[in-house]
Amino acid sequence: MNLDEVFIPYLLELFSVYLGDMDYSVQDAQDKGSDFFVEWLSDFVGGDLGPDFEEYEEEVQEERSPDQEALMILEAFLESEDDSWIDEFWSVLLLAHRGAPRNRVAEFHAAYVVRWQDGKVFTYVCTVPPNLVSPRGLLSDFLVTKVAHVSSSQFHDMISERSLDTLHDVQQTPMPKESLQYVLDLASAEIKKEKDFTRRVELESAVHLLRSLALPRVPPSAEKAARRSMSTQNYGRGRWDVLSMDPQEDD
């Protein structure tokens, strides 16, 4: 069964009821932690809720009409001795109930770049056009993380179905790093001719952003820490570590 289609919407409704009943903001719920919500769920599903809780439950049933299977899944989770099941959903519940960002987001996209040793490059980009967001232009914390999750899943599925070798073979012209560096150097040289200081700073920031995306550099401190933390056992599958590049960090 698809948890995204059945169970998570049901859990989201219950979390809304939880916030209302406890008179919590999302930040209050986050500060209290997931254990308090699980305790509340146990009481809610258990039935010893009193008239107020029963009224809430009736409202949830009327508005959402959740599949009985969703309730069965929740009961199974609650009957288990391990309360860590909520960890998989906790961030989703918080994000979905968080208000609109104070600073409106104009655009979000995720990009994956695969570069082979022979210079061929494959790029995969997932983006959400602002005009297709409802309410119009409202890119919330929840929606941005959802798009990131979807893009990751789609990229994973594509590699699983087609393989890296297949993607390599359909690429036409190699794009060596030296070519990208040359283009960025040309841009930097041209920017130096700009007399307007504010404009020059904007253009330099633009080049810095493009450089961080096209030619990411690992900060020496991060690389050193990663090497120290890498396991000596790789079971024949290779060793790796994921390093996040901060565009604002000095090269």
Alpha-carbon dihedral of residues 40, 43, 46, 51, nearest 10 degrees?
-110
Convert 160-175 to b/e letters by CB count within 10 Å (16 or more is b): eeeeeeebeeebeeee
CA distance 188 to 25: 48
User: Are residues 129 and 168 in contact, defined by beta-carbon separation less than 8 angstroms?
Assistant: no
One pLDDT digit (tens) per residue for the chain, 251 residues: 457 678 888 899 999 999 999 999 999 999 999 999 999 999 888 754 344 444 545 555 554 444 578 888 888 888 887 889 999 999 999 999 988 888 888 888 889 999 999 999 999 998 877 777 776 667 889 888 888 988 999 999 999 999 999 999 999 899 999 999 999 999 999 999 999 999 999 999 999 999 999 998 877 777 777 777 665 555 555 555 555 555 455 44
User: Are residues 245 and 216 in contact, defined by beta-carbon separation less than 8 angstroms?
Assistant: yes
Phi-psi region of 174 (alpha: psi -120 to 50; beta: other; left: phi over 0): beta
User: Are residues 152 and 144 in contact, defined by beta-carbon separation less than 8 angstroms?
Assistant: no
Q: Strand locations in the chain, DSSP E?
A: 109-115, 121-127
CA distance 150 to 127: 10
